């Protein structure tokens, strides 16, 4: 069964307390928190104070996805805000190996995200050092976009590599996950499904999370 990580980017920001409570009562294991800087991606979302507030509202895993340039500048700040998993983009890091070590040294799990144009092979030399690969299945920056079908092949390639080398790395899929495509994504080898619009635009978000969990 996949881990479900609802993305708060699609939540009602005026009701973050209630939305967090709903997720606390749901089958979702993780909160996916998307941080955007208006430079790495063409959008600005929320930052440290919001994450610190959400941290107080949940005991679930806070999975922080940094879509920011040079994320190494803020590793410690995100730890203090309460991140359990810190994911940086390979395209935003000049010294990825060092960033990964920095994240782990602070006691967080280290994730690396790949944009749709980045081949999974780019990660092979650090795959043994990280805890999670976040494969972007849309171009990052906005919720509610269409899943890019080519992601399925990337999942299969990565799954094979991880299994053959007996690595302890989770594959997370981020962007355009729906009740229709989730079964295929899980079958291809995904461990974690991020879902923004599918959960928060649903008339019954908790039931939708349970359905996703069942795939």
Q: Which of 20, 51, 63, 65 is the binder for Zn ion (CB under 5 A)?
A: 65
Of the listed pieces 3-11, 14-22, 117-125, 158-166, which binds ligand DX5 according to CB under 6 A? Answer: 3-11
The span from the CA of 202 to the CA of 75, in Å, is 34
Q: Tell me the site size for ligand DX5, rule CB under 6 A.
A: 21
Closer by beta carbon to ligand DX5, 188 or else 200? 200
172 belongs to the binding site for Zn ion (CB under 5 A): no
Which one of 74-82, 89-97, 169-177, 182-190 is the stretch in contact with ligand DX5 (CB under 6 A)?
169-177
The answer to whether residue 34 is catalytic is yes
Based on the shown chain and the rule CB under 6 A, indicate whether residue 193 belongs to the binding site for ligand DX5: no
- CA quadruple 65, 209, 16, 12: dihedral positive or negative? positive
The reply to whether 197 sits near ligand DX5 by the rule CB under 6 A is yes
* Closest CB to ligand DX5 among residues 85, 138: 138
Tokens of residue 22, six digits:
């709903």
Q: Which of 34, 72, 131, 191 binds Zn ion (CB under 5 A)?
A: 34
Contact residues: ligand DX5, CB under 6 A = 7, 9-10, 32, 34, 65, 138, 140-141, 143-145, 174-177, 194-198
Catalytic (active-site) positions: 34, 174
């Amino acid at each position: 069964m996949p881990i479900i990580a609802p993305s708060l980017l699609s939540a009602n920001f005026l009701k973050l307390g209630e939305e967090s409570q709903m997720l606390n009562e749901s089958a979702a294991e993780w909160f996916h928190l998307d941080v955007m800087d208006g430079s790495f991606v063409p959008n600005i979302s929320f930052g440290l104070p919001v994450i610190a507030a959400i941290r107080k509202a949940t005991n679930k895993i806070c999975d922080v996805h940094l879509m920011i340039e040079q994320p190494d500048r803020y590793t410690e700040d995100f730890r203090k805000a309460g991140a359990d998993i810190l994911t940086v983009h390979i395209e935003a890091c000049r010294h990825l190996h060092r960033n990964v070590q920095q994240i782990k040294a602070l006691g967080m799990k280290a994730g690396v995200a790949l944009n749709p144009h980045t081949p999974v092979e780019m990660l092979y030399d650090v795959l043994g050092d990280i805890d999670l690969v976040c494969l972007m299945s849309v171009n990052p920056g906005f919720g509610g976009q269409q899943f890019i079908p080519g992601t399925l092949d990337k999942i299969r390639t990565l799954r094979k590599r991880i299994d053959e080398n007996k690595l302890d790395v989770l594959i997370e899929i981020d962007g355009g996950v729906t009740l229709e495509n989730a079964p295929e994504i899980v079958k291809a080898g995904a461990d974690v499904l991020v879902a923004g619009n599918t959960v928060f635009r649903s008339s019954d978000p908790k039931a939708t999370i349970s359905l996703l969990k069942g795939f």
